[in-house]
Structure 1
Amino acid sequence: MDSSYVYLIIFWAVFYLHHSLFASLNIKRKIKALVKKAYLWNRLLYTGIASILFFGIFIYSGTIEPNLLLHPTDVLTYLGYMLAAFGTIILVKSFKNFSGKRFSGLTPHDDLEIKEELIQTGIHGYIRHPIYAGLILIFTGYFLFSPTLASLIHVGMLLLYLPIGIYLEEKKLLAIFGEAYKKYQSNVPALIPRGIKKAG
């Protein structure tokens, strides 16, 4: 494999490591103990680094000479657009119950002290991790639209990380919400909705 693709895999590994490591409650507590009141800006720093890594990866992958794995066709292009559009809709709906400024860190806050509400309405009433589901569809759509080795790596690294990411995120949510989240887990699937019954 060309070294460019090896670097791409490494960059994704760094992104996902950052995503999980600095979202950990234990790491957050250690950061807070170290920086004290400045911890109010921790979310903004986390979001900023994650954004730079994420967009940097796609900028870098754009510099790699395309290595087509499939012959592009109108059908693949249409499916790609359709999946990406559907994924984008899911992402937009998944953020409707969040404060954009708080989520990004533009509103300084101590997320170790402020307990957020467990969201079980809207799209979260059908799947527990709509952001991940939306990204799967967008990345898969991108691969069908541009079936290169680089875009396959984007999808592959996401799918490899998901079991780890979901496990760590749910471990954190169980620690925060306890029995309420355990009940939510039993009622609502992680990524693929089953029927139309909502949690409640």
Structure 2
Amino acid sequence: MNYVLLALSWIVFYTLHSILAASKLKRILEGKWGNAYKWYRLAYTLISLLLFLGIVIQALLIPKSLLINKGDLTNYLGYMLAGFGTIIVSKSSKHYSVMRFLGFATSSKEDETLVTTGLYSKIRHPLYAGLVLIFLGYFLFAGTISATVHVACLLLYLPFGIYFEEKNLIIQFGEAYQKYKGEVPAIIPKLW
């Protein structure tokens, strides 16, 4: 039952994440809220953070049940994948303003440009790729059923998250993003 509740918590988190990030909802709220809309991003970030912390606390309270035998190899691979994922997330995040991400600064649509250099020249969603590596690394290191639920929920959400995010990006950047989408893979880089 604990694992079902954990999975349902992730479903709520990812569903709210997609709904609250939708361009259509943002346009509606901007029209209704007027000047107060400037607080939307901060509210969105706080809701996401509180839900994520709730999931972390929930996972910590679940008794540990190992799914795979832990050893030096799984620990090493887990640390390596999580470390590599963290590097990818931090390198891909350098194009974003932390203050804007948190909702303390705003920018106009003209200030935003489509980033297609660095990691973004190899994959369209390096943040997602980094998160997959972090979650997989955690699974290998922890080896628990809870860690399996975390990874499974992320992997199940990714196609939906990418779909909705790219809908927003097509609205924002139009033909430029369509062309970029046709040339660069979503998460797994081409090795040739």
Which TM class, normalised by the smaller chain length?
Answer: over 0.9
- How far apart, CA to CA, are the structure 2 residues paired with 1:117 and 1:85? 29
1-side partners of 2:54 and 2:124: how far apart?
A: 28
Please list, as runs of the form range in 1=range in 2, the aligned pairs for 1:1-200 lying within 5 A after superposition. 3-107=1-105, 109=106, 113=109, 116-195=112-191
Question: What's the TM-score, normalizing by structure 1?
Answer: 0.92
Counterpart Cα distance in 2 of 1:34 and 1:14: 25
Contact 2:123-2:184 within 8 A present in 1 as well: yes
Distance 1:7 1:30 in 2: 32
Once the 2 structures are TM-superposed, how far is the Cα of residue 141 of structure 1 from its aligned partner? 0.3
Greater helix share, structure number:
2
What is the CA-CA distance between 1:34 and the residue it aligns to? 2.3
Q: State the distance in 2 between where 1:128 and 1:42 align.
A: 26
RMSD: 1.4
Distance in 2 (CA, whole Å) between partners of 1:10 and 1:110 is 35
Q: What runs of 5+ residues in structure 2 fail to find an aligned partner? A: none
CA distance in 1, matches of 2:125, 2:9: 23
For structure 1, which segment, 186-195 or 86-95, has the greater mean C-alpha deviation from structure 2 after superposition? Answer: 186-195
Inter-partner Cα distance in structure 2 for 1:118 and 1:104: 20
Is the CA contact (8 Å cut-off) linking 2:6 and 2:55 kept in structure 1? yes
* Distance in 1 of aligned mates of 2:160 and 2:129: 15
Shift of residue 11 of structure 1?
0.6
Aligned-residue offset at 1:115 = 5.3
Q: When the two structures are superposed, what TM-score results if normalisation uses the length of structure 2?
A: 0.96
| 8 Å contact kept, 1:39–1:110 | no
Q: Secondary structure at the match of 1:62?
A: helix
- How far has the Cα of 1:114 moved from its partner? 5.1
Work out the percentage of aligned pairs sharing the same amino acid.
50
**Structure 1: which 5+ runs fail to align?**
none
